[in-house]
Structure 1
Amino acid sequence: MFGDRATFLSALSSSFTDTYESSQGYQNGFSILSNAAMTAVVGQTRYETTGFQNLNIRFDGGASFGYCAGCNGSFTLHFDATSFGDANGVGGVGLDISGNSGDLPYSALVTFGNSDTQLFALQSNTASFFGLTSDRQIRSIAFGPNGGTTTGGAFSIDNLTIGASGVVPEPASWAMLIAGFGLVGAAARRRRAVTA
């Protein structure tokens, strides 16, 4: 897990950031969009509001932009149809959290490409960064109390970054790769000896 954007970005081999600005296809000002309409704007993340139905809000505060689900509801971000991953998800997801307030803490319930899940507590009442990379890929993240549904609390995000992970292969993968190179080299030496 990453607490700052710079370190998170250095772990990705390629990435895309949705800034929720009009330059990326959003209409100017405050807008309310269905799940399908919100998903279609940039086309890299599938949005699903889970507290309120089809209540995706993209807001424009002049110098600040962002996204919320009714601005006090839960939502799930799906990464199973992007150009930075496949049906199992993406290698990394990071976002700025504008904050949540009151006595309703939000959490991030991450579902990985192999269907494992993990719950991450998010800082309450503060602006912060949440970033995660995984060699299992990240298929979706549900934001809500314990990853569940709600129409309470206040929670919004900005600068949603998805990307391909630059994760280093596991030692077993390196061993297989080196063994493969060794076999190719041995076969080439053997072929040279036969032709001589």
Structure 2
Amino acid sequence: MKKLLAATAVAFLSAASAQAATFVFVPGSDDLAPGETTFASFNNAAEDGIVTGSNFVFLTGTSSQGAMPAAGDGTRYLSVLANGTANINLGAVSAFSADFGSLDQYNTLTLTFQDGTTQSFTGDVLNGAFPANGDQQSPTTNGRLQFRADAGQTITGVSFASSQNSFEIDDLAVSAVPEPATWAMMIGGFGLVGGAMRRRRSVGTTVTA
């Protein structure tokens, strides 16, 4: 089952969201991606001030206001209630991820970028091929979403909104923006791979008499 879910996660890379960022949903997982560091766990009330907006609460356990993310660490989490919005300033990062619980079609996540543009994802999009039906236990609606900005782009903030109870989020993590030299190395590496593939195709299509 874990192998199947991992394979499915790869298929969830958002080709339709290439305008500024792509994402992958990892069902049933709460693992951080390589290079990420925890930004907010919501376990300490002193962190509550990083969240602005309206009609959201911090909870433990499951109640009518929210269900504890089944793939999370089982501690305090953020729950956005009906017609609520929770905004978090991330600074300037190349990627961020979080644990999400019982994804619903009426949940919406919006990224803000350094140039002032935004990109929104509904629960149906975030959940990929799985139904965003709010199941509180299934790994298909509980897991980790990882977002990565396109090359040269920077994520500065994220907003969580929901038209009904609830949108549950926990354990946000971020990755720093790569240095220009790192970007250059990455782009150069892609170029080398592309060149090798072109040469391989050329060799493969040679016909001898």
TM-score, L = length of structure 2? 0.52
Q: Helix, strand or coil for the counterpart of 2:45? A: coil
Corresponding residue for 1:20? 42
Q: Helix, strand or coil for the counterpart of 1:2? A: strand
Q: Helix, strand or coil for the counterpart of 1:64? A: coil
| Offset, 1:158 | 1.0
Corresponding residue for 2:117? 116
- Work out whether residues 49 and 69 of structure 1, in 8 Å CA contact, stay in contact via their aligned partners in 2: no
Corresponding residue for 1:57? 57
TM-score, L = length of structure 1? 0.55
Q: Hey, what's the Cα distance between the residues in 2 that align with 1:159 and 1:171? A: 31
Q: Hey, what's the Cα distance between the residues in 2 that align with 1:114 and 1:92? A: 16
5+ residue gaps, structure 2: 1-22, 63-73, 135-140, 189-209
Q: Hey, what's the Cα distance between the residues in 1 that align with 2:186 and 2:113? A: 21
Corresponding residue for 2:148? 133
Q: Hey, what's the Cα distance between the residues in 2 that align with 1:73 and 1:114? A: 25
Q: Hey, what's the Cα distance between the residues in 1 that align with 2:115 and 2:32? A: 22
- Work out whether residues 93 and 132 of structure 1, in 8 Å CA contact, stay in contact via their aligned partners in 2: yes
Corresponding residue for 1:79? 90
Q: How many matched pairs?
A: 136
Corresponding residue for 2:100? 97
Distance 1:71 1:99, change over 3 A: farther
Q: Helix, strand or coil for the counterpart of 2:25? A: coil
Distance 1:165 1:71, change over 3 A: farther
| Offset, 1:60 | 2.1
5+ residue gaps, structure 1: 28-36, 40-45, 81-88, 175-196
| Offset, 1:70 | 4.2
RMSD (CA atoms): 3.4
- Work out whether residues 108 and 141 of structure 1, in 8 Å CA contact, stay in contact via their aligned partners in 2: yes
Q: Helix, strand or coil for the counterpart of 1:75? A: strand
Rg larger for? 1
Matched, 1:47 2:51: yes
Q: Hey, what's the Cα distance between the residues in 1 that align with 2:177 and 2:24? A: 13
- Work out whether residues 72 and 154 of structure 1, in 8 Å CA contact, stay in contact via their aligned partners in 2: no
- Work out whether residues 96 and 129 of structure 1, in 8 Å CA contact, stay in contact via their aligned partners in 2: yes
| Offset, 1:59 | 1.5
Q: Hey, what's the Cα distance between the residues in 2 that align with 1:170 and 1:6? A: 31
Distance 1:172 1:61, change over 3 A: closer
Matched, 1:9 2:19: no
Matched, 1:169 2:183: yes
- Work out whether residues 2 and 8 of structure 1, in 8 Å CA contact, stay in contact via their aligned partners in 2: no
| Offset, 1:71 | 7.1
Residue identity opposite 2:33 in structure 1:
L
Corresponding residue for 2:48? 38
Identity %: 13
